[in-house]
Structure 1
């Protein structure tokens, strides 16, 4: 990105279908030698952090469109990386040695704390939007609640099947998807009493649920899968809303799907190297982004502050609109 194509702030431009249709890749990065397995924008939108199967953590400057820094986690590997609320810190799961979650100082590349407990691969990791609480879910069929300030697990839930989980935008409740067939809502202050609501859904026979996210306005719960469907349900009553299809996932990958910051649109990667976008309310496909990705697009997220989309396979792409809104 040159000084002429810095991403505009969203307040300067409205995210509408005509603007989305003009998005093109402004910058591509090819530093990684293996799949980028997760990405996360900082809350102020100024930086993006990624983790990769090549054991590297890369931090990007979103305003300048440059790579700021690369850190390595050769011993433990790195997956599911997330910024915390403190500057220059992140948490991530490990894909080597053990299934410990690690709290990392990005400033000096040193671990602040370790969170032991899971006995199999961690497949869900998410920070509370309001404080130092975070959730982790594992193939050991448990979900654990943690606080960054303590190495001790704050809460433990035993489940059936692979769990997916996330906090609502206000950080007061969290949702847990269980066995690819039900969503349970828990109050963070009394989760040990069990869910206050359970939404039963028709079980996906062809695929597994691999991720769950609330829309930024808190009205929709989206569930993405390792198959060719993405589900949305009403976050208050569990009513099925949309089943999004059209993207390709013929490799059984957990391809990330994400909301736009205004909750209007949903984006997903695809094993055909393209990015698909739907209207979150109608379920209609809005646009297909023709990308330079040669491999399945594992990660897609929209910047929370700037008019910018990022997508990743082995390479990282930054997308911005090419015309100003009239």
Structure 2
């Protein structure tokens, strides 16, 4: 089914899961869209089958905590950040709930964690003002960039470029094969006093970069020119959460939660709100939305996780 403004507005909640008892801090899909994983402040990890719409397993990480969980390219494994003990990134076997490898190096909270779309490389950034490149096959850091300011990071859809959002004012693009030579492009955006960039992601077609903030707007940036295409506004964020937004697989829409308990969607062609979906979310912890990369399924989460699908009338 083609995603458009009409059927987005008619999406319905098909499933609700209440396994987590605290705020869900991350959602992530497998590359094939068949599986999803969520992690929570209650230190639990839940696996879902997106085809059947069921929960398949619950795991716990009570010793280290869990945040920013991501599937590796094998859906039986995942990487995640720690919330206790130290700031090590951990590589977990979901099959037997045992750690395969540890990635030590960051000295403060990790705020970015992302897998390469093409291989075993992944990237992390931290409040220690560094960006690190890793390979799942080795515990040793494969590349280190020490910066003057806090940064967030993201891979492009082809896995050849990564972007760094530095000090909420510069977007720097690096060739993964020669990142040590510095960025091949730097875009400067006006720094805002009342909000910070909290995450960034490329659109699936690679043409735009979405800068998520802890304010009441987000920025769509042309990934070739660095120009701001649109500021996405209309949602509320009075608690200044780090709201996690998502692109639709066709890159035509952006979805984000709001403290008025609605999911907002914007057209990337016009920058206008295309639809809003009322939800049963708890506004005190509603921060996560994620669109399935292969199927017409949207997930949203506070402490409960919801799956949204098109109306049967569409």
TM-score by length of 1: 0.94
Q: Does 1:211 align with 2:207?
A: no
* 1:145–1:154 Cα contact (<8 Å) kept: yes
- What is residue 287 of structure 2 aligned with on the other side? 298
TM-fit CA distance, 1:244? 0.5
* Alpha-carbon distance between aligned partners in 2 of 1:271 and 1:94, rounded to the nearest angstrom: 27
* Alpha-carbon distance between aligned partners in 1 of 2:42 and 2:311, rounded to the nearest angstrom: 33
Q: Which runs of 5+ in 1 are unaligned?
A: 1-12
* Alpha-carbon distance between aligned partners in 1 of 2:41 and 2:289, rounded to the nearest angstrom: 17
Runs of 4+ in 1 over 6 A off after TM superposition: none
- What is residue 239 of structure 2 aligned with on the other side? 251
Q: Give secondary structure in 1 for the equivalent of 2:3.
A: coil
* Alpha-carbon distance between aligned partners in 2 of 1:87 and 1:15, rounded to the nearest angstrom: 27
* Alpha-carbon distance between aligned partners in 2 of 1:324 and 1:274, rounded to the nearest angstrom: 22
Question: Deviation string for 1:34-80 (max 9, x for gaps)?
Answer: 00000101111111100100000000111111111000000000000
Task: Decide which of 121, 136, 156 is 1:168's aligned counterpart.
Answer: 156
- What is residue 274 of structure 1 aligned with on the other side? 262
- What is residue 303 of structure 2 aligned with on the other side? 314
- What is residue 112 of structure 2 aligned with on the other side? 124
* 1:274–1:297 Cα contact (<8 Å) kept: no
- What is residue 140 of structure 1 aligned with on the other side? 128
Q: Does 1:261 align with 2:246?
A: no
Q: Give secondary structure in 1 for the equivalent of 2:7.
A: helix
- What is residue 71 of structure 2 aligned with on the other side? 83
- What is residue 224 of structure 2 aligned with on the other side? 236
* 1:275–1:297 Cα contact (<8 Å) kept: no
Q: Which runs of 5+ in 2 are unaligned?
A: none
TM-fit CA distance, 1:320? 0.5
Question: Deviation string for 1:290-320 (max 9, x for gaps)?
Answer: 0010234211111111111000011100001
Task: Decide which of 283, 287, 291 is 2:271's aligned counterpart.
Answer: 283
Q: Give secondary structure in 2 for the equivalent of 1:252.
A: coil
TM-fit CA distance, 1:28? 0.7
Task: Decide which of 24, 31, 36 is 1:43's aligned counterpart.
Answer: 31
* Alpha-carbon distance between aligned partners in 1 of 2:111 and 2:268, rounded to the nearest angstrom: 25
- What is residue 23 of structure 1 aligned with on the other side? 11
* 2:281–2:304 Cα contact (<8 Å) kept: yes
TM-fit CA distance, 1:161? 2.5
* Alpha-carbon distance between aligned partners in 1 of 2:303 and 2:148, rounded to the nearest angstrom: 33
- What is residue 165 of structure 2 aligned with on the other side? 177
* Alpha-carbon distance between aligned partners in 2 of 1:22 and 1:212, rounded to the nearest angstrom: 28
Question: Deviation string for 1:240-264 (max 9, x for gaps)?
Answer: 1000011111112111011000000
TM-fit CA distance, 1:324? 4.7
* 1:214–1:220 Cα contact (<8 Å) kept: yes
* 2:23–2:286 Cα contact (<8 Å) kept: no
TM-fit CA distance, 1:21? 1.3
- What is residue 47 of structure 2 aligned with on the other side? 59
* Alpha-carbon distance between aligned partners in 1 of 2:307 and 2:130, rounded to the nearest angstrom: 35
* Alpha-carbon distance between aligned partners in 2 of 1:208 and 1:161, rounded to the nearest angstrom: 12
TM-score by length of 2: 0.98
Between the two proteins, the alignment pairs up a number of residues equal to 313
- What is residue 58 of structure 2 aligned with on the other side? 70
- What is residue 5 of structure 1 aligned with on the other side? none
